[in-house]
Amino acid sequence: MRILLAIDGSAPSSAAVHALDARPWPMPTTVRLISVVQYLYAPDTPLVPEAGLMGDGLESVYRQLEQNAHAALVPVAEALRTRGFDVETVVRLGDPRVEICEEARRWEADLILMGSHGRTGLRAFLMGSVAQSVVRHAPCSVEVVRETHHEPGVEHGASAG
């Protein structure tokens, strides 16, 4: 089985890692961790890493962001390897909504596993939802994991009565 696990360093993506680790998977299962460094945009003008369109300063910012993304994947990959998974890592530069689906297509993933920030209303409309877009456009099944929030003093999982 091939699982593409989208990681962005957020609590919801950590919840997706825990969801992966919490259940049995057929072995061998290969997990490809993907992190996407998103382009910085100026109003009406996307800054893309093409010759002549970015100054050296912005290119160096992207290089540093890519290095940081690779470094953030290392401990996750090591932890999953100790649990018996074959793990690969990849960092892409672009729009996460597009890059996650494209990587799933290229790699022929069986499943995309990702977290969701759970934004709703105006925030979701203005910022867009990576998870919603991936669900609509993915070439394979997608599992979206939400971070669970527990209220202090409330026991979860206990039955009433």
pLDDT in tens, 87-145: 999 999 999 999 999 999 999 999 999 998 765 655 555 445 899 999 999 999 999 99
Distance from C-alpha of 140 to C-alpha of 114, rounded to nearest angstrom: 13
Q: For residue 60, give the H/E element and its range.
A: helix 56-82
What would the pLDDT profile of 43-93 be if each residue is shown by its tens digit? Answer: 444 555 555 555 567 788 888 999 999 999 999 999 999 999 999 999 999
Q: Indicate the CATH number of 2-146 among 3.40.50.2300, 3.40.50.620, 3.20.20.70, 1.20.210.10.
A: 3.40.50.620
Spans of all domains in the chain: 2-146
With beta carbons less than 8 A apart as the criterion, state whether 117 and 10 touch.
yes
